[in-house]
Amino acid sequence: MVSTAAIAQTSFRPKALLLPVSKDAATLQYVTHINQRTPLVPVKLTVHLGGETLWVDCEKGFASSSFKPARCGSAQCSLATADACSGENVCGQSVDNPIISTATHGDIGQDVLSLQSTDGSNPGRVVRVPNFIFTCGATLLVRGLASGVTGMAGLGRSKIALPTQLAAAFSFKRKFAICLSSSTSSDENGVIIFGDGPYVIRPDIDVSKSLTYTPLFINPVSTASAFSLGDKSFEYFIGVKSVNVNGKAIPLNTTLLSIDSKGIGGTKISTVVPYTVLETSIYNAVVSAFVNAMPTVTRVSPVAPFSACFDSRDILTTRVGYAVPGIDLVLQSQSVKFSVTGANSMVRVSDNVLCLGFVDGGVNPRTSIVVGGYQLENNLLQFDLAASRLGFSPSLILEYRTVCSNFNFTSN
């Protein structure tokens, strides 16, 4: 499908590729490093699950002898669905930083990209893609990103996002998995694996064997900061049908759960939103049911951005997180649900205060439920672009007493 993302120059054919992902304590962004350019330099990028492209700041300190601008009318420009052509005959497109809701125009180019391969258990040799298509962002777009970050790694449903270009370059399946670590410690990284399983996490658990599947939906209207009429969204939407708290369905306006013809509503998964954001009426129903299910727990003053906070001395801590009511996003049937337990629902904001880690998204948000990073941590999610489905593991803490940072990054 992507003939122009020149096939990687190597006789070694990796089955999958690996990126370590750290959590930045100050911004709560998920950050990775990719080696790019000639000579290769490590580029620090914020992971944007629904992003259209890999973009980097090319205005400040960008130097590479292998960089090639994409000429207007070229195959690269059509692959990137470029929407403009500059006076220098270079095509471009809009470059988005969703964290500050800002987009600018950026030129499209190609350069060397280098990543580590993996067999799903151990890291393998480093491989190169000689002509990886990416977009040049402006320095002003780096605002709001974690310290040292100079761009974003887009993993969305576009032909030039990392998953599709890498699958084309090495002829593997258009699938990738993310497993985000809850730790902000530099030696406890989560992982992104491009390609199929196995996805093995110590102590020798192949998480790909325990995935539950649900369809992915395409929102017909873009959800980026700026877009052209007719653009589809590159983000990943799932079909939440109802929400359970403590095993019981809560009352909610179910029309909010569908995507309408203007692209409003539905549920998406995001790595650029730190905590799950719910439309106001859904948020109020979740909080009310959650509080009512814990009659003996003292509620305390809210701590922004949260409104439901509790005295932590009233909440039992277990080996698998805080003992609080479970919150389930019920998918295509009652038996298929994405479950959020105490380890992913409660945020410790001070010694004696725990808050429910969900945020009120207001009355008319573009998307009714945005599942944020905190609720994804220590769960493995596999995005299968060819089959348009999401596979998700149970909580690794709950099911296997392990965490995403237990992927083996070192020994072979």
Percentage of residues of the chain with pLDDT beyond 70: 97
Q: For 248-306, how does the pLDDT look when each residue is reduced to its tens digit (9 = 90+)? A: 999 999 999 999 999 999 999 999 999 999 999 999 999 999 999 999 999 999 999 99
pLDDT at 62 over 70: yes
Question: pLDDT confidence of 411, banded at 50, 70, 90?
Answer: low
Task: Give CA–CA dist 40/122, Å, rounded.
Answer: 23
100-123 average pLDDT score: 96
pLDDT at 118 over 80: yes
119-140 average pLDDT score: 96
Task: Give CA–CA dist 172/192, Å, rounded.
Answer: 15
225-244 average pLDDT score: 92
Which pLDDT does position 12 carry in this prediction?
Answer: 83
pLDDT at 191 over 60: yes
What does the angle CA 206 – CA 208 – CA 209 come to, to the nearest 5 degrees? 80
CA distances from 16 to 6, 76, 403 (A): 17, 24, 21
pTM here is: 0.95
Which pLDDT does position 228 carry in this prediction?
Answer: 80
Q: For 326-357, how does the pLDDT look when each residue is reduced to its tens digit (9 = 90+)? A: 999 999 999 999 999 999 999 999 999 999 99
pLDDT at 9 over 80: no
